[in-house]
Amino acid sequence: MSLESPWNRMSLESPYKHMILESPWNRIHREPGGNNLEFYTAFNEKRPIRLNAQTREFAWESLHGRYGEESLRTPVVAVDDIIGFERMTEYGKYDAAIARIAEMAPIRICEFETVSGAATLGGAIDHVVPAFWRGGKLWDSVSHVTLGFGKVLETGIDGIAQELILRLADPALGAPQIEILESMRNTIGALRVWHKRYLEALARVKPAIHGNLIHVPFKPARHFHEAVQSLWFVFAFERLCGNWPGIGRIDEMLGGFLKRDLASGVLTLDEAREILAGFFIKGCEWIRRDIPEDCGDAHHYQNIVLSGMDVDGQDVTNEVTYLVLDIVEELGIGDFPVSVRIGGNTPEKLLTRMAEVIRHGGGIVAAYNEPLILKSLTEFGYSTAEARRFANDGCWEVQVPGKTHFGYYPFDSLKILLNDTLGLNGTPALFDDFGSLYAKYLADLKRAVEGIYRDTVRDRTGQLPGADWHWRTAIPCSAVSMLTEGCIESGLSYLGGGARYNVMSPHIGGAPDAGNSLYAIHKLVFEERKVSFSGLMAILQSNWEGQEALRQYVLNQYTYYGNDHDEADAFTCNVLNDFAGIVAELKGRCPILFPAGVSTFGRQIEWAPFRTAVPFGRRKGDILSSNTSPTPGTDSAGATAMIRSYCKADLSRQANGAALDVKLHHTAVQGENGVESLVALLKGFVALGGFFLQPDVVDATVLRLAQANPEDYKTLSVRVSGWNARFVTLGPEWQEMVIERTAQGV
């Protein structure tokens, strides 16, 4: 749970973990013997082709791991030979290491690239600063942050350098502040070195695009191609230094440049698409050939947020918005998860384009409910202008980009119920009525949340909440600090409290499982009195052994969260709302912001062995609910019912976010009506007050899994012939038919 362990977080945290396991992006089919590149889709129609053959070839190579493999051959640079390295201060070492990276990292210029710069040190893929001393790492790097790339385009890096010079002229600065500010200047110096190496190489190797890198990223971008180059170059430098930043609102940043170029006629939309595609393809340069069998590789939180309103309340949607969707639709690139801010004013055309991309599967495009999130953020305490800027940290946790230091603390609310409240890991508790059971559970939940808060504050400051405030010294991270608002002004680093907002969010996991458990106890013990409280506890401790009839009864005769059943949904919604209330009480005790959030990402898998059997009939070790989604196998009323259940909680109180995963089979979203149905789901999700929707369209592999584990796939809808039905309700021969049809891509 500690923030200092990004090694662990890397393997745990991808929100797309689920997606990767079920809809492998890298299983891209190349037609034998042909030049015809076919990018994988779960849909029954091929992906449209708009890009030229060279760009598609480039994408093919990148997605197949050519560049990732190359990077692994040069994992890190060594700093052993730097004279006096051992005696340097920590910042001195950092600056020397970054300088060494800039000087030594291999230069890579690809034949068909439209923008240059490459994060060629493979060690960065492992979330460290890829400069090693005596064969070992020096520092972890930073992720879960979206940097201030907009500023790079507007003022250029020179603008930031100028700001640093002015700030350093302040005689009131202390020595630690000066060291931090100087380190940012040195990092910019390293960027200049790296830039110069690329300019020289480009002049030789690829003079056609050399001109686009002369002014940027140091001067403000003047046109679209320069803007994309500038954004890419700085993003690539951050990744070269080991960091994994999110991109943020790319259409807002680039839209104006494109509009001007289109108006003046220097660029066509098709040309712009090729240029921008280069950005996305280069973003796949960390994909390795052999995919590690875990949560998939190459998802380094390079999140993109599209559309929504700007600071003045105007709709941001522009040609870049649509170009991004064109590109991910054609190439099936899932490495830049795209989240679209939708609301009442979202153009119909944009919703339709989202649906068309979603149909191809993989869950690349997700949706934020903008009106609810703006309400949530302003109620939490952000100004209206700041709230309107929201993007995310690289997953989907909402934050103000370029100004926020972010971390989150996931915990298992089901385990708290099972162990702390019910005592199933030791001597079971005894409750006479549901009210006293729930009160005890909330007290246990409160103790856990307060513990997280105390530990978070102590980790950062070495003090308890409420004491005199100062940040603990953190590891250097000047490459991140220089693009985070607040760091130059305060003379503090990103990790050392310099950001405008320091956000640490407790994330509740397993809430639907806790809600379902409470509901089953309420029904079985207190309402129907089918078994005594202590009787049920004994049954759970023996993992439902010898109690199959009763287990089947609780599994099948009760309706659980996710089926639009008010009585059952209330239990999960109460857990979520009461958790938000507990978190809200901690507000204002120190400058660390502490918004509530909901997530498991993939943790429901690793939590499973540490949970006992649960009251709603699942045995020890079963994999239960993800994020705010229903427990697998308990939902059977379809996607609309699931969305309605989820929206019954007051999700605006989860200011950091609460995701719902919805899986659909491609047959359910086939044809014109399929697109309209997806659009209707998105609109309903907004109207009902959802927060973040991750729709996914699934393929034959998933259907095979569904055949083997029908309990886990009850809501998977398939088109049968002239109608649709849930896959697991089909007879075996029909399942075979649907699978065969899917596999053939008919």
Partner 1 sequence: MLLSITNIQRFSTHDGPGVRTTVFFQGCPLRCAWCHNPETQSGCPMLFYVAGRCIGCGACVKACPNGAHSMHPFGRTGRHDYDATLCKGCFRCTEACPAKAVEPVSRMLDPVEIMEIVLKDKVFYGEKGGITLSGGEPLLQAGGCLELLRLAKDNGLNTVVETAGHFDATHLAPIAALTDLFLWDFKDGNAKRHKEYTGVSNALILKNLRAADALGSKILLRSMLAKGINLEEEHLHSLAETASGLKHCIGVELLSYHPYGGSKSEQMGLGDNGRKDWIPSAEEMRLAGETLHRLMRPGIREPE
Binding site for partner 1 (CB under 8 A): 548-550, 552-553, 555-557, 564, 637-641, 644, 668-671, 673-674, 676-677, 679-681, 683-684, 687-688, 717, 719-725, 730-734, 737, 746
75 in Cβ contact with 121 (< 8 Å)? yes
Closer by beta carbon to partner 1, 418 or else 637:
637
Let me know if 729 is exposed, middle or buried by CB neighbors in 10 A (0-12, 13-18, 19+): middle
Token digits for 317? 């949607």
| Closest distance of CB 366 from partner 1, Å | 18
For residue 337 the two structure tokens come to: 């998860």
In the bound state with partner 1, the residue whose beta carbon lies nearer, of 267 and 614, is 614
Distance CA 269, CA 250 (A): 16
Q: How far is the CB of 548 from partner 1 (least distance, A)?
A: 5
Minimum CB distance to partner 1, residue 546 (Å) = 12
Which residue lies nearer to partner 1 by CB, 207 or 731?
A: 731
- C-alpha span between 405 and 500 (Å, rounded): 8
Task: Name the minimum Å distance from CB 400 to partner 1.
Answer: 30
Of the pair 256, 535, the CB lying nearest partner 1 is at 535
For residue 446, with 0-12 CB atoms within 10 Å meaning exposed, 13-18 middle and 19 or more buried, which class applies?
middle
Whether residue 146 contacts residue 402, with contact meaning beta carbons closer than 8 Å, is answered with: yes
Q: Which is nearer to partner 1, 384 or 721 (CB)?
A: 721
Type and span of the H or E element at 131: strand 131-133
HSE of 222 in the Cβ direction (CA atoms, 13 Å)? Answer: 9
Measured from the CB atom, is 235 or 519 closer to partner 1? 519
Question: What DSSP character marks residue 728?
Answer: G
- Residue 451, token pair as written in the block: 């513990």
CB nearer partner 1, residue 404 or residue 724: 724
SS3 content of the chain, % helix, strand, coil (to 5): 50, 10, 40
Neighbours of 134 (CB within 10 A): 10
Nearest residue (CB) to partner 1, 473 versus 552: 552
CB of 721 to partner 1, least distance (A): 5
Q: Work out the angle at residue 333's Cα, subtended by the Cα atoms of residues 296 and 480, and round it to the nearest 5 degrees.
A: 75
**Element of type H or E holding 246:** strand 244-246
Nearer to partner 1, 252 or 564 (CB): 564
Among residues 285 and 564, whose Cβ is nearest to partner 1?
Answer: 564
Task: Please give the structure tokens belonging to residue 208.
Answer: 């056609």
Closest approach of partner 1 to the CB of residue 513, in Å? 21
Nearer to partner 1, 271 or 676 (CB): 676
Contacts 24+ apart (CB under 8 A), 644-647: 644/564, 644/688, 645/561, 645/562, 645/563, 645/564, 645/565, 645/569, 645/572, 646/562, 646/690, 647/685, 647/688, 647/689, 647/690
Q: How many Cα neighbours within 13 Å face the side chain of 545?
A: 5
Of the pair 225, 618, the CB lying nearest partner 1 is at: 618
Q: Which is nearer to partner 1, 381 or 535 (CB)?
A: 535
Q: Is 662 helix (H, G, I), strand (E, B) or coil?
A: strand
Q: Measure the CA–CA gap between 232 and 282, rounded to whole angstroms.
A: 9
CB atoms within 10 A of CB 640: 16
CB of 731 to partner 1, least distance (A): 3
Tell me how many helices (H) and strands (E) the chain has.
28, 17
Q: Minimal CA–CA distance to 184: which of 483, 388, 562?
A: 483
> DSSP for 178-194?
HHHHHHHHHHHHHHHHH
Query: Minimal CA–CA distance to 624: which of 570, 574, 581, 560?
Result: 560
Q: From CA 503, how far away is CA 509, in angstroms rounded?
A: 19
- From the CB of 414, what's the least distance to partner 1, in Å? 24
Give least dist CB 317 to partner 1, A.
20
Cβ nearer to partner 1, comparing 484 with 717: 717
Residue 469 or 734 having the CB closest to partner 1 = 734
Cis peptide before 75 (omega within 30 of 0): no
Instruction: Report yes or no: 398 and 494 within 8 Å, Cβ to Cβ.
Output: no
